[in-house]
Amino acid sequence: MTNQLSFKSQPLKDVLKVGDLSGHGSLVDQVYRLLRRRIVDLSLPPESALVEQEVAAALSVSKTPVREAIIRLAREGLVQVIPKSGSYVTAVSLERYLESCFVRTQLEVGCAKRLATQGVSAADQVRLKSLLSEQREAIEENNDDRFFELDEALHRSLFELAGLSGVWEVMNFAKAEMDRVRHIKRQFGIRQRQLVLAEHTALVEAIVARDSQTAEQAMINNIGAVDDEMVTISENPRLLQTIEDLNQLVALDLKSRGREKMKK
């Protein structure tokens, strides 16, 4: 568990790199995905200013795709656009987080039950078990970011195999705040990767066995119901304090840097 906050606002040019664009999809999609990823992993923490010209310069793109990407992020509640002022990453919201937990629980549990009922092919079983193997390798390599990506890949694959790809997009849109809090919780060691892997393994085994009841419970164990998350937060008061401190810390850091610029 960390003893102090390590979040700090950085210049956009240090956070956003041209090479980080995926190269897949439209330029708007690529810019949107990168900005979202940096907001979610807190590289762009609350109160960070998203200056269109600076983002465009850092990514070597025009301002148009940046503007459209920011509009998308505003719809998700990750960015606030203030007329005549600019666009800023929003504060982490506990209320939005719990709403995200509710949405995710309903959709993911339904997906697990559906997939276990309809069954998966031998090829799809290999696909799911391969993702588990990759997660195990990420743990052995102590690659937290890779493990997070593979975690997302497994859950996305379940929706795809259940014929619910569109539902995954809806849920992914809704759970943005959950993902930010997940990155904070990682610093506290609240969710151990080995435990998550064991939960994923139990989930996949239940789906392969076509045991819908066990698959439902395995999914709940993995993602946690809203009540479980409320208990987790209440039992970890430093987590709630960290969220509050994070929202204030970066704002103070930005104000401090602003004063330094005025002195120059």
Q: What is the pLDDT of residues 219-246, one digit of tens each?
A: 999 887 666 666 666 666 566 666 666 6
Query: From CA 98, how far away is CA 181, in angstroms rounded?
Result: 10
Q: pLDDT: is 239 or 23 the higher one?
A: 23
On whether both 86 and 108 belong to a single domain, the answer is no
**The domain spanning residue 217 has which CATH number?**
1.20.120.530
DSSP-assigned beta bridge partners for residue 89: 79
Q: Say if residue 190's pLDDT is above 60.
A: no
On whether both 188 and 138 belong to a single domain, the answer is yes
Indicate the number of domains in the chain: 2
Q: Say if residue 4's pLDDT is above 50.
A: no
On whether both 140 and 162 belong to a single domain, the answer is yes
Q: In this predicted model, what pLDDT tens digit does every residue of 150-167 receive, in sequence order?
A: 999 999 999 999 999 999
- Band the pLDDT of 189: cuts 50, 70, 90: low
Task: Give domain status of residue 7, yes or no.
Answer: no
CA angle centred on 61, ends 56 and 67, rounded to 5°: 55
Residue that terminates a domain, selected from 70, 90, 110: 90
Q: How high is the pLDDT of residue 158?
A: 97
Q: pLDDT: is 187 or 182 the higher one?
A: 182
Q: In this predicted model, what pLDDT tens digit does every residue of 166-181 receive, in sequence order?
A: 999 888 888 888 888 8
On whether both 150 and 189 belong to a single domain, the answer is yes
Query: From CA 164, how far away is CA 160, in angstroms rounded?
Result: 6
Tell me the three state secondary structure of residue 191. coil
On whether both 65 and 159 belong to a single domain, the answer is no
For the ranges 2-11, 118-127, 140-149, the lowest mean pLDDT is seen at 2-11
The pLDDT > 90 percentage for the chain reads: 48
Residue that terminates a domain, selected from 45, 60, 90: 90
Q: How high is the pLDDT of residue 215?
A: 97
DSSP-assigned beta bridge partners for residue 80: 88
Q: Residue-wise over 4-14: b if at least 16 C-beta within 10 A, else e?
A: eeebebeebee
Q: How high is the pLDDT of residue 81?
A: 93
Task: Give domain status of residue 130, yes or no.
Answer: yes
Query: From CA 222, how far away is CA 203, in angstroms rounded?
Result: 8
Q: How high is the pLDDT of residue 119?
A: 95
Q: How high is the pLDDT of residue 238?
A: 63
DSSP 201-223: HHHHHHHHTT-HHHHHHHHHHHH
Q: In this predicted model, what pLDDT tens digit does every residue of 31-89 receive, in sequence order?
A: 999 999 899 888 898 888 999 999 999 999 999 999 999 999 998 889 999 988 899 99
Q: How high is the pLDDT of residue 240?
A: 60
The overall average pLDDT reported for the chain is 84
Distant-in-sequence, close-in-space partners of 10: CB < 8 Å, separation ≥ 6: 43
Is the separation of the CB atoms in 219 and 108 below 8 Å? Answer: yes
Global pTM value:
0.74
Is the separation of the CB atoms in 116 and 211 below 8 Å? Answer: yes
On whether both 115 and 212 belong to a single domain, the answer is yes
Task: Give domain status of residue 41, yes or no.
Answer: yes
Is the separation of the CB atoms in 17 and 61 below 8 Å? Answer: no
On whether both 99 and 224 belong to a single domain, the answer is yes
On whether both 129 and 233 belong to a single domain, the answer is yes
Task: Give domain status of residue 5, yes or no.
Answer: no
Task: Give domain status of residue 126, yes or no.
Answer: yes
Task: Give domain status of residue 70, yes or no.
Answer: yes
Give counts: helices (H), strands (E), the chain. 13, 2
**The domain spanning residue 43 has which CATH number?**
1.10.10.10
What are the φ and ψ backbone dihedral angles of 253, each rounded to 5 degrees?
Answer: -65, -40
Task: Give domain status of residue 263, yes or no.
Answer: no
Range of the domain at 165: 94-237
Cβ neighbours of 242 (radius 10 Å): 22
- What does the DSSP 8-state code read for residue 17? -
Q: How high is the pLDDT of residue 261?
A: 42
- When computed from its CA atoms, the radius of gyration of the chain, rounded to whole angstroms, is 20
On whether both 103 and 81 belong to a single domain, the answer is no
Task: Give domain status of residue 256, yes or no.
Answer: no
- Band the pLDDT of 264: cuts 50, 70, 90: very low
Comparing C-alpha atoms, which of 24, 82, 21, 95 is closest to residue 50? Answer: 82
On whether both 200 and 101 belong to a single domain, the answer is yes
Q: How high is the pLDDT of residue 28?
A: 95
On whether both 110 and 28 belong to a single domain, the answer is no
Summarize the confidence of residues 78-106 as an average pLDDT.
87
Encoding tokens for residue 238? 């430093």
On whether both 118 and 84 belong to a single domain, the answer is no
